[in-house]
A and B are shown apart, each in its own frame.
Chain A
Amino acid sequence: MKMKSGLTFVSAALSAALALSAASAQEKVHKVGYIADLSGPMQDNYGPIVEGFEFYVKELNARNGIDGVPVRVAVRDDQLDATRASSIALELATSEGVNSIWGMSQTRTHLAVYQTAARNRIPATAMFSGIKEVLPPNPLPYAYSAGHVFEVAGEVSGKLAAKMLNGKGKMICNSIEAPGGVAACQFAEGAAAAGGLETGTVLFPPTVTEFGAIAQRMTSMSPTMVVAHAGSGQNVGLIKALRGAGFDGPILMGSHGLNEMPLINALQGVGSLDKLQIVSRFSSPDTTGKELDEIRAAAQKYGKKTPVSTTTIMGWSLAKVMEAALLKCGYPCPGEKLNSTLENIKVDMGSLMGGPVQFAPKDHYGISWWRVFQYDAKDKKFLPASEWLEASSTPTLRKQ
């Protein structure tokens, strides 16, 4: 009798353990991966984007996830190293079992991540920087971008420069000597020239920190407007040097991972700050709107230490695209199914951007909208200075 009850107990315990194990195995969750430079030279650009992404996911899970399925984000640090980024993508796709990769760091890491993701049949979607391989007519499979593809950003900046100067004057573009930076200036020059401006370009190595002579070179080219497609730290060094070298005209900066307040704080005393402009695909954090209010509330709720910036908005926006894709994909949502979903998606971005994020089978970037925000030194805000300008995903005005 005793033995029988013992067996019954063991059997019940085993059944319970098996049931628990099965329940655990069947725990519904969308596992996604996120890659960024979190401790490398550009972590100040990419860190806040991850933060915005995570804020959105926290809020999403707090309202019961996507149709009751929570989202888990595995965040990894590539330190701007393409080899490391590729290894991480492989680890995320295999060991971690994610169905997608989001974020990504500088453009030089993108191809490696895209290729690894494609081999493992999971989509990868970039934010902030983007490479032309996502553009039509033959985008890489499984590769998307919802941020700034430099070819498009360059062309838009050139068009806007020509518009702001009414087709008269000279635009000098500057950027780093890297594929994205070079392309940005080639398209900026092409578009500005098409708009009637004289143009020129000054490129410098990505690691330059001393800008005195570079600024003097730019000033000697007699620009009416400077268009800057460099990183935020280099923008500070360059703007200081340009003002010191005698250039007092407008400076239009591509908002490529830009944190507005640190930029302005670093430029205090430099002068002519009211001639600083940003061209961006995203709304300024100083503007209003339902979604922007949600970001500010989330930032406060989760104790964000630094002010909300365009980078925070970028991360939040990317997570919004992710939510829409996972919702449409349903559960379970393996990588291939999610990829098919992304190839036919249109996400309303509300006040975050000028229009929806929209991908198609032959266009993994879509039409984008861009706007100029001008710094108001009195209110210490970047406020809209133009309407949203629609840009095609097939820029054509490259200077040869």
Chain B
Amino acid sequence: MASFVLTVVATWGIYALLGMGIVLVYRTSRILNIAGGELAIFIGYVVAIAIESGLPFPIAVPLGMGAAMALGLAIFWFTIRRVMGEPPHVGLMLTVGIATILNGLMIILFGGGMTAVPAGLPAFTSLGSVRLPTPDIVAAIGAWLSIAAIAIMYHLTNLGLQMRAVAERVMLSAQRGLNVDRTVALSWVIGVLAAGLAGMLHGERSYVALSATVIGISALIACLIGGMDSLKGVVLAAFIVALTESVTALYIDPRYVLIAPVTILLVILIIRPWGLFGTVEEFRRV
């Protein structure tokens, strides 16, 4: 039972982290980023290759974080900034393009093969008579520390205040002298960093490969269930997704592990199309 709880907490953390990145970006730039899985696994590859090249895990991780922030900035600078204010489908299609390009780059730069992010820790940790999977412990701690850091940044710092201001009233923010471009750029940097951290943690507890980009689908489902503009919504919905997947796999039938959360999403979309914590205004805007 303890292993199961840990598995749910770790999976929940990874989906929530990835989903928070998507929501942060959406709130400030009104772009639904569907390249979350690709961004996550791209950074997973960077860290895996760095470790394969001989760098220790504690150095490879900050390197991956730096790469994620640089990638986020590059995406904003070369693409997003040019479509700001355009209809939502333009930004959406842009992220489809980004996902495709990242897929190609993963093949060209990293070979696109299967690898992992080894933390160099044993497979399990014994606490008395309880045996817990160490990768899940690392993933849970890593994910929830990252989530806490993003939440603190968003709610307790000036930068977070600026992001919230841009999210709420972009015109007013600009009139009050806020640098909207810089704020949106920072949201992309943090959003891609969150995705990258999720990718590293997923690679540490499972594997890194092109096929692993599907973790982005689970995170996107969490975003839609929670509400595209709600950080607390995505965290709660990530729990629903992770718990549903894990309960289905352990107690029902693993064959339905992907169908179950999608079924919940469909029900939510029928009853409350803007998600559990999303706002009707945002839904209509999209």
Residues of chain A touching chain B, judged by Cβ–Cβ distance below 8 Å, are 39-44, 47, 177, 202-205, 207-214, 216-217, 220, 231-234, 236-237, 240-241, 243-246, 259, 262-263, 265-272, 306
Contact = CB atoms under 8 A, between A and B. Distances in A.
B114 A232 contact: yes
A217 B257 CA distance: 13
B162 interface: no
B195 interface: no
A241 B255 contact: no
Interface stretch (B18-26, B65-73, B244-252, B273-281): B244-252
Which residue among A205, A259, A263, A266 has the maximum number of chain B CB atoms within 10 Å of its CB?
A266
Contact of B124 (A40, A243, A268): A243
A23 B119 CA distance: 62
A44 B111 contact: yes
28 contacts: A39-B107, A43-B107, A44-B209, A177-B255, A204-B249, A205-B255, A208-B254, A209-B206, A210-B202, A210-B218, A212-B3, A212-B205, A214-B250, A217-B254, A240-B116, A240-B135, A241-B206, A244-B123, A244-B136, A245-B133, A246-B3, A265-B118, A266-B114, A266-B115, A266-B118, A269-B119, A269-B123, A271-B124
Contacts of B258: 205, 207-208
B33 interface: no
A203 B246 contact: no
B254 A267 contact: no
A240 B248 CA distance: 20
B146 interface: no
A185 B104 CA distance: 34
B124 A203 contact: no
A355 B183 CA distance: 66
A234 to B, nearest CB: 8
Given A205-B258, A232-B114, A268 B206 contact: no
Nearest to A206: B211
Which residue among B113, B134, B255 has the maximum number of chain A CB atoms within 10 Å of its CB?
B113
Contacts of B212: 209, 233
Contacts of A233: 114, 207, 209, 211-212
Nearest to A268: B118
A237 to B, nearest CB: 4
A361 B52 CA distance: 49
B271 interface: no
A49 to B, nearest CB: 13
B206 A203 contact: no
A211 B246 CA distance: 9
B118 A208 contact: no
Interface string B110-149: 0111111011111110000001111110000000000000
Given A207-B214, A244-B135, A246-B131, A259 B113 contact: yes
Given A236-B114, A266-B115, A209 B207 contact: yes
A265 B215 CA distance: 22
B185 interface: no
Interface in B230-245: 245
Nearest to B123: A243
Contacts of B211: 41-42, 207, 209, 231, 233
A244 B209 contact: no
Interface stretch (B4-12, B82-90, B91-99, B169-177): B4-12
A44 B113 contact: yes
Contacts of B120: 268-269
Contacts of A204: 249, 254-255, 257
Contacts of B131: 246
B124 to A, nearest CB: 5
A246 B124 contact: yes
A173 to B, nearest CB: 13
Interface in B195-235: 202, 205-207, 209-212, 214-215, 218
A296 B3 CA distance: 44
Contacts of B52: 265
Nearest to A182: B255
A217 B250 contact: yes
A263 B131 CA distance: 25
A47 B247 CA distance: 36
A259 B210 CA distance: 16
A212 B136 contact: yes
A217 B135 CA distance: 18
Nearest to B10: A212
Given A204-B255, A213-B245, A233-B207, 12 more contacts: A42-B211, A44-B112, A204-B249, A207-B211, A210-B206, A216-B3, A216-B7, A233-B212, A237-B206, A259-B113, A262-B115, A268-B120
Contact of B112 (A43, A205, A208): A43
A227 to B, nearest CB: 16
Given A214-B249, A216-B4, A217-B250, A244 B133 contact: yes
Nearest to B211: A41
A269 B7 contact: no
Contact of B3 (A208, A245, A306): A245
Contacts of A220: 250
Contacts of A246: 3, 124, 131
A269 B122 contact: yes
Nearest to A174: B254
Interface string B248-272: 1110001101100000000000000
B139 to A, nearest CB: 9
A306 B114 contact: no
A216 B135 CA distance: 14
Nearest to B104: A39
A266 B204 CA distance: 9
A187 B250 CA distance: 24
B83 to A, nearest CB: 27
Given A43-B210, A245-B133, A265-B52, A240 B205 contact: yes
Nearest to A176: B255
Given A177-B255, A269-B118, A213 B246 contact: yes
A280 B282 CA distance: 55
Which residue among A231, A240, A306 has the maximum number of chain B CB atoms within 10 Å of its CB?
A240
